[in-house]
Structure 1
Amino acid sequence: MHKFLKSAAAIALGIAALSVAAQGYPNKPIRVVIPFPAGGPVDQTARALGAKMGAALGQTLVIDNKGGAGGLIGADAVAKAPADGYTVLFSSAGALAIVPHLTASMPYDPQKDLIPVTQALKVPAVLVVSAASPYKTFAELKAAATGQGSKINYASAGSGTTPHLQAELLKREAQLNINHIPYRGAAPAITDILGGQVDMMMVDIPVALPFIQSGKLRALAVTNSKRIPIMKDVPTMAELGVPKAEAYNWYGMLAPARTPADIVGKLYTTTGAALHSPELLKQFEQQGVEVVASKPEEFGAFIAAESARWGALAKAVGAKLD
C-alpha cells in the first residue's frame, strides 16, 4: 500500500505546474492497452472514453487489446512500456487487485511498476437467475441454498475473476451452501444460466442488463450501496440483510511508473472531463454504472485497499489463475 501512496503523493505535488516534458504533450497518438479481448464492457468503455479524450487532446487514442491470463499480459506490456505518456492501461480490477494474488511468478508489480491516473467507473454486480428459475426472490434462493442438502450451483467467468470472488463473498456473508462452476468468460456462463444448467451468477450490471431488460434473466439483488436507477425495483444486498456482500468491479487508467507527474495530471483532468460529458454520463446511467473520476492519489489508495480485500478472499477460497 505504501508504494502506491508514495507514488500518488508525488503526482499530487507535481500536477500544479507543467514541466518541459508535458508542454507539447501529446504530439502523437496515445496507445490505450485493454488487457481483455475486444467487445467486452471494459473495451467498449475505453473506446467511448477514448473518442472524447482524443477530441479534447487533438490526438487519436488507439485501442490495443492484449487479452490473456486474467489481464496480466496487457498490464505487463504497459508496465514495461516507455514512461512518456504515450502508452496507458485501461483495466478492471482483475489485473491490479486480484491476479497478483493468484500466481507466484508475477512479471510486474502493480504497486511499483504502474502509477494510477484515475478510477473512471464503479461497476456494481447483479445476482441473476434464469427467468425460468423457480427462485423469484433472494429469500427463496437462500432457503434453497441453506444447509447440507443444497444442490445450488453458481457460474463465474473463471476462477479468480471478480464474479467468482463476489459470489464467494456472498456465500460467506449470507452463509450459503453453493458450488462453483467456472467458465472461460462471462458469455458462456450466461448461456448456461439462460439454459438452466446453472442456478445463479454474480455478474457486472452492463453485461447482464440486456438479458434482464429482455426478460431472459431475473435480477434478485444488486451489490450497490443504493438502488440502481435503471433497475429501481431490484433491492440492494443491504436491504436483504447482507450489507457486507456489497462489492464492485471498477475500471481505471494507469501509466508506467516513471511517467512525469504533469503528464499524469493532464491525463487525469482530460479523462475526468470526458467522463462528465453529457453523452457519457447518460450512457453510463443507462448501463447502471457510476462515474468516479477520482484523483490519482485516491485511486492509488483504493487499489491498495481492494488488493488487500480481494487477495485475502482469493487465498481463503483457493482461487487459481486459469
Structure 2
Amino acid sequence: MRSRAFAVPSLRAGRNRLVLAAGVLLASALAAPLAQAQNGASYPSRTIRLVVPFAPGGSTDILGRLLAQKMGENMQATVVVENKPGANGTIGCDQVAKAAPDGYTVVLGDVGCMAMAPGLYPRLPYDPPRDFAPVSLVGRSPLVLTVGAQSPLRSLADLTATAKAQPGRLNYPSSGTGGPNHLGAELYAMQAKVKINHIPYKGSAPSVVSLASGETDFGFLTAVTIASQLKAGKVRALAVAHNERLPSMPQVPTMDEEGLKGFTADAWFLAAVPAGTPAPIVQRLQAEIARALPDPAVKEKLDAMGVLPSGLTPQASAEFLRAEVDKWRGVIQSAGITLD
C-alpha cells in the first residue's frame, strides 16, 4: 500500500499566523477606546476645560462658573473655568477653535466674539459657523432702549420722530466700538431709517452714567447694566429689544409692540466645541446644560443678571448662530464699521 503523506505546517507559517492574530487583538484593543469616544460611552473620563474668553467678573465669566459647578456636580466630573481674555473675546475663541475635537475643551462665547467679530475683523483667524460645533445657546440678555429720567423722549415713537426731524443730532453711548450696545443702536438706525451719533465709552458703567446725566440721549443697554440707575429713578426703560417682555420689567413693551416689527438685539451666550467633536459628546454636553439651567440656584442668579435661559439643541443653536452672523454682518457693512 502507498503511504499517505501529511503536510507539516512550516515554522514560518505558524509564526505568521501568530503575528496576524496578535495584530488583530492589538487593533481591537486600540479601536475599543476610539469607538467609546466616538459614541460618548466613556465621556467624560478627565477634566473638561470651559474657556471663558473674557476677564473674571463679567457676565460671561459668572455664567460660565455657574454652569461649570452645576455640570460638574451632575456629570460627576471636574469642569474648570479658564479665562482667556483679549481682543474682545477673539483670542480665547480662536484657541478653542484650534483645540482637539474631543469634548474636553468648550468655549462659552458671546454675541461679540461669535457673531459680530466675523464682520468686524477682516483677518479674524476663525470662522464661527465653520470652526465650531455649537452645543447650546445658553441664554439671552436682551438690550433695553433706555433714556435719562430727564429726557423728553417718552416712547420709541418719540425717539424715531425726533431722530428723523433732526438727523445726526441724537447721541447714544456704548461700552466700546463694535460691541452689542453699538451695533444694537445701528440696527435700530438701519430699520428705523434714521441717522444717529455714536459716543463710545470705556465700559458699561460710564455709558449708563452718560444717560443719567443727559450727556447722551438714548441707548441700548442690558437690563443688568441699567438695574441700579433704573431703581434709583435716574433712567427710564422705553422698550425691550426682544420678542417678548422681560420678567424683571413686565410693564416695559417690546420694540415690536412699539411699532418696529421684528426688532431683536440680544447680548447672548453660546457654548461650543471645536468642529468635528463626536455628535454623542455634543449631545451629552447640551443635555447637561439644559439640565443645569432650571436649577433654582442657577435660575435665581440668571434672573439677577437679566439673562433669559435657553438651552437650545445643537442643531437649533447652529441655525441661530448662522442667522446671527449674517444679521450682524449686514449691520456692520451698512454702518461702515471695521476694526483692525
Give TM class, smaller chain: 0.7 to 0.9
Residue in 2 that maps onto 1:307: 325
Gap runs ≥5 in structure 2 = 1-33
Matched, 1:75 2:93: yes
2:178 to 160, 163, 168: 160
Contact 1:147–1:177 at 8 Å: present in 2 too? no
Cα distance change on mapping 1:152 and 1:182 into 2, 3 Å = same
- What is the deviation of 1:165? 1.5
Matched ranges for 1:99-114 at <5 A: 99-114=117-132
Matched, 1:222 2:220: no
Contact 1:173–1:244 at 8 Å: present in 2 too? no
1:207 to 225, 232, 239: 225
- What is the deviation of 1:19? 4.7
User: Taking structure 2 as the reference length, what is the TM-score of the superposition?
Assistant: 0.83
Partner-residue secondary structure (3-state), 2:273: strand
Q: Using the alignment, how far apart are the partners of 1:216 and 1:66 within structure 2?
A: 35
Q: Using the alignment, how far apart are the partners of 2:339 and 2:57 within structure 1?
A: 22
| CA-based RMSD | 2.1
Partner-residue secondary structure (3-state), 1:144: helix
1:197 to 210, 215, 227: 215
Structure 2 letter corresponding to 1:98: M
Gap runs ≥5 in structure 1 = 1-17
Partner-residue secondary structure (3-state), 1:243: coil
- What is the deviation of 1:182? 1.9
Contact 1:128–1:220 at 8 Å: present in 2 too? yes
Q: Using the alignment, how far apart are the partners of 1:102 and 1:288 within structure 2?
A: 26
1:249 to 259, 267, 289: 267
Matched ranges for 1:1-322 at <5 A: 19-21=35-37, 22-148=40-166, 151-321=169-339
- What is the deviation of 1:254? 0.2
Partner-residue secondary structure (3-state), 1:24: coil
Larger radius of gyration between Structure 1 and Structure 2: 2
Q: Using the alignment, how far apart are the partners of 1:241 and 1:159 within structure 2?
A: 27
- What is the deviation of 1:306? 1.0
Instruction: Identify which of structures 1 and 2 has the higher relative contact order when contacts are C-alpha pairs closer than 8 Å and 6+ apart.
Output: 1
Structure 1 letter corresponding to 2:41: Q
- What is the deviation of 1:223? 0.9
- What is the deviation of 1:27? 2.9
Contact 2:167–2:194 at 8 Å: present in 1 too? no
- What is the deviation of 1:123? 2.0
Residue in 1 that maps onto 2:3: none
